[in-house]
A and B are shown apart, each in its own frame.
Chain A
Amino acid sequence: KQEVTQIPAALSVPEGENLVLNCSFTDSAIYNLQWFRQDPGKGLTSLLLIQSSQREQTSGRLNASLDKSSGRSTLYIAASQPGDSATYLCAVMTTDSWGKLQFGAGTQVVVTP
């Protein structure tokens, strides 16, 4: 069974620092991996989707890498801002459970002014 782990569980950085969020998964037979942002009591906003054939995806200040062989993905957020404060979730879709997202527990990020 696929297990998804996110470390650290919480992170606090001063504004302007780069953020590095980690996601690891146990089954490398994945279809894709997706990063989401969730604000308190709100829905999930999709940030980046990486297909299994890709190594990375970029959108503005966000960059996500994928290393299937080691079962890891990293989300980088450059020059963090207080508005980046949220919980970040990674979710994996495995090839034997097409369509189903297996979520990590999330990393709660606080960016202080």
Chain B
Amino acid sequence: EAQVTQNPRYLITVTGKKLTVTCSQNMNHEYMSWYRQDPGLGLRQIYYSMNVEVTDKGDVPEGYKVSRKEKRNFPLILESPSPNQTSLYFCASSLGGSAYTFGSGTRLTVV
């Protein structure tokens, strides 16, 4: 089944403890992206990658890192999480500007 898989689905962590949210797609899509969704602010792009080793900032990149060492994987790294990064995170992928496929989401709480 063609899909984008995120892990974990739910995560509660403490301020300052580094964490990684994994994202993997099995559709050979070159384009991958991370979004966060917050009440009243909607979905905002954090980082995106147009291909292996090519990444760039979206609208809200502060406090996040990404890497794209393989085409299928695009992990999101929070080096020192803070409470304002509590949010619902989505990974997405697409092939050449075609329809996007989104993962099921990761609900992160930073206390």
Q: Is A43 a contact of B94 with CB atoms below 8 Å?
A: no
Please, how many angstroms separate the alpha-carbon atoms of A99 and B25 in the complex? 16
Q: Of all chain B residues, which has the CB nearest A102? A: B45
Residues of A within 8 A of B98 (CB): 49
Q: Which of A31, A44, A93, A99 contacts B90 (CB 8 A)?
A: A44
Tally of B interface residues using CB under 8 Å:
23
Tally of A interface residues using CB under 8 Å:
22
A73 at the interface (CB under 8 A from B): no
Residues of B within 8 A of A105 (CB): 42
Please, how many angstroms separate the alpha-carbon atoms of A101 and B98 in the complex? 11
- For residues 22 through 60 of chain A, which have their beta carbon under 8 Å from a beta carbon of chain B? 31-32, 34, 36, 41-46, 49
Q: How many A-B residue pairs have CB under 8 A?
A: 52
Q: Is A99 a contact of B94 with CB atoms below 8 Å?
A: yes
Q: Which of B33, B90, B100 contacts A46 (CB 8 A)?
A: B100
Residues of B within 8 A of A103 (CB): 42-43
Q: Which of B58, B88, B99, B107 contacts A34 (CB 8 A)?
A: B99
Q: Is A100 a contact of B104 with CB atoms below 8 Å?
A: no
**Known contacts A46-B99, A46-B100, A93-B97; is-contact A101 B105 (Cβ 8 Å):** no
**A-B residue pairs in contact (CB < 8 Å), sample of 28:** A32-B97, A34-B100, A36-B102, A41-B88, A41-B105, A42-B104, A43-B102, A43-B105, A44-B90, A44-B92, A46-B102, A91-B100, A93-B97, A98-B97, A99-B31, A99-B48, A99-B50, A100-B33, A100-B48, A100-B58, A101-B33, A101-B35, A101-B43, A101-B45, A103-B43, A104-B42, A105-B42, A106-B42
What residues of chain A have their CB less than 8 Å away from a CB belonging to chain B?
31-32, 34, 36, 41-46, 49, 89, 91, 93, 98-101, 103-106
